[in-house]
Chain A
Amino acid sequence: MTCAEFQAVLAYIIDNGGNAEQQEHLRQCAVCSGLVSDLKYIAEQAKLLVPMMDPSKKVWDGIKSSLEREGLVKDSARGSLLGSTPLTRWGPANWLLPVAAALLVAVGLLYYQNRTGGQQATLQPSSDNAADASIQAAPLQSASMGDVQDQQVLSEVAAHIPALSQSYRQDLQRVNAYIADARGLVTRNPDDEESRQALMEAYQQKAMLYKMAMRHSLP
């Protein structure tokens, strides 16, 4: 078998190795074995390529605008589900969620800062009274208080989007388990930064869940 004959069929045999004659040629011929090595090396390196870049922000903006134009989601002026959301239509509990979210984050911050030396952890005054009150009250946050808030959130979700009620219940259970785990770690390892970060992250996730529930519960 010549090199030309071998290379003429190489596209079809490179993955399975070819027949005995082709394999023999490959063993004997430095030129063709070098070629096969190169091609396989290129394929191996290509498999290692990972996505490296995010699209620019305008891609998401374009998606959002198109969906709004097509009427698939509400436009921003009416309270977009993809953008900012007015709170005025959430009934008696419309004040609760931002406060609860701020409280959750504040608890996480206080835990974090207390463990890193409370003297540097002075919180800056805020113009948002509700958030200030939440921050002041943060150390008083207890499991039972969290339960009450969770129940209020779940009630709103059940009232407005019953199809997602079970899903939110499960998410809250998961995030509460995460918070409990992270709290346990911080208690046992007060100087471990990773544990403190985990606790912060857990509270942030819960705050995000509250925020999502609020947005989704809009009529």
Chain B
Amino acid sequence: MRPEKGELTQAKKTLVPGLTEADAIDRAKQGDSESFEALYGMHKRRVYSLCLRMTGNTAEAEDLTQEAFLQLYRKISTFRGESAFSTWLHRLAVNVVLMHLRKKGLPEVSLEESLEPQEEGPKKDIGARDNMLAGSIDRVNLERAIESLPPGYRIIFVLHDIEGYEHNEIAEIMGCSIGNSKSQLHKARMKLRDLLKTSRTERATRS
């Protein structure tokens, strides 16, 4: 007879291991560093991935992950539970990355840039059905292509298409207009499309 797995569900979900996220947050707010360590364990991968995708650099991503969690330790007492903890932590991490990029002087979004129609018009082969991407992207190629994006495009793309931020949120975080956020995202996707097609052609040539 197979065991009734549902019997374990309740207890298993609430202990991961030993305490829930809510317990860990409560304890960390009171300065409990063991619980803070548990929160680090739960969220390090997502925060690190966010930093890595936004910067495209492993060393920078590690430094920024460290800084994000240090800020978490200092600020966790201000977490009021108005949003999910992961959302709050991600916003904090995004701010850490953006602050770093501003210090480096990298243009995140060109505020002057608007989406004017291309003077030369669309390329002749654009979107030709026999050259469409559907079914041809794998995770590794997409990650590589994202890494190759210019920083401004990459940040908007990561925030919107990977992390799920809305344009109004991005506009607020980045200090730009919603239209500018949409424009940058579109350009990022267009650039990715070019990169992915180039990569596909190179792979086909090699094989």
Contacts and interface: CB of A to CB of B under 8 A. Distances in A.
B139 interface: yes
Contact of A7 (B27, B66, B73, B122): B122
B2 A3 contact: no
A208 B17 contact: yes
Interface majority SS on A: helix, strand, loop or mixed? helix
A183 B65 CA distance: 41
A83 to B, nearest CB: 10
Secondary structure at the B interface, as helix, strand, loop or mixed, is helix
A178 B66 contact: no
Interface string A34-50: 11111101110111110
A59 B139 contact: no
A195 to B, nearest CB: 5
18 contacts: A3-B122, A5-B117, A7-B122, A11-B115, A11-B183, A47-B164, A49-B143, A49-B162, A51-B46, A55-B44, A59-B44, A60-B37, A63-B40, A67-B33, A164-B32, A175-B15, A205-B17, A209-B19
A54 interface: yes
Given A42-B137, A59-B65, A82-B37, A174 B14 contact: yes
Interface of B: 1-5, 7-8, 10-12, 14-15, 17-19, 23, 26-27, 30-34, 37, 40, 44-46, 48-50, 52, 61-62, 65-66, 69-70, 73-74, 115-118, 121-122, 126-129, 131-134, 137, 139, 142-143, 146, 157, 161-162, 164, 179, 182-183, 185-187, 189-190, 192-193, 196
A203 B126 CA distance: 61
Given A34-B131, A63-B66, A212-B19, 13 more contacts: A7-B118, A30-B127, A31-B127, A32-B127, A46-B162, A47-B162, A51-B50, A55-B62, A178-B11, A178-B15, A185-B8, A204-B17, A208-B17
B193 A34 contact: no
A136 interface: no
Given A14-B186, A49-B162, A55-B61, A215 B34 contact: yes
B193 A66 contact: no
Given A12-B179, A31-B127, A167-B23, A66 B70 contact: yes
A11 B132 contact: no
Contact of B3 (A59, A170, A185): A185
A198 B7 CA distance: 11
A148 to B, nearest CB: 20
Interface of A: 2-5, 7-12, 14, 30-39, 41-43, 45-49, 51-56, 58-60, 62-63, 66-67, 72-73, 81-82, 163-164, 167, 170-171, 174-175, 177-178, 181-182, 184-185, 188-189, 192, 194-195, 198, 201-202, 204-205, 208-209, 212, 215-216
Contacts, number: 204
Given A41-B133, A198-B8, A8 B118 contact: yes
Q: Which of B2, B33, B73, B186 has the most CB of A within 10 A?
A: B33
A205 B17 CA distance: 6
Given A51-B49, A59-B48, A216-B34, A7 B117 contact: yes
A45 to B, nearest CB: 5
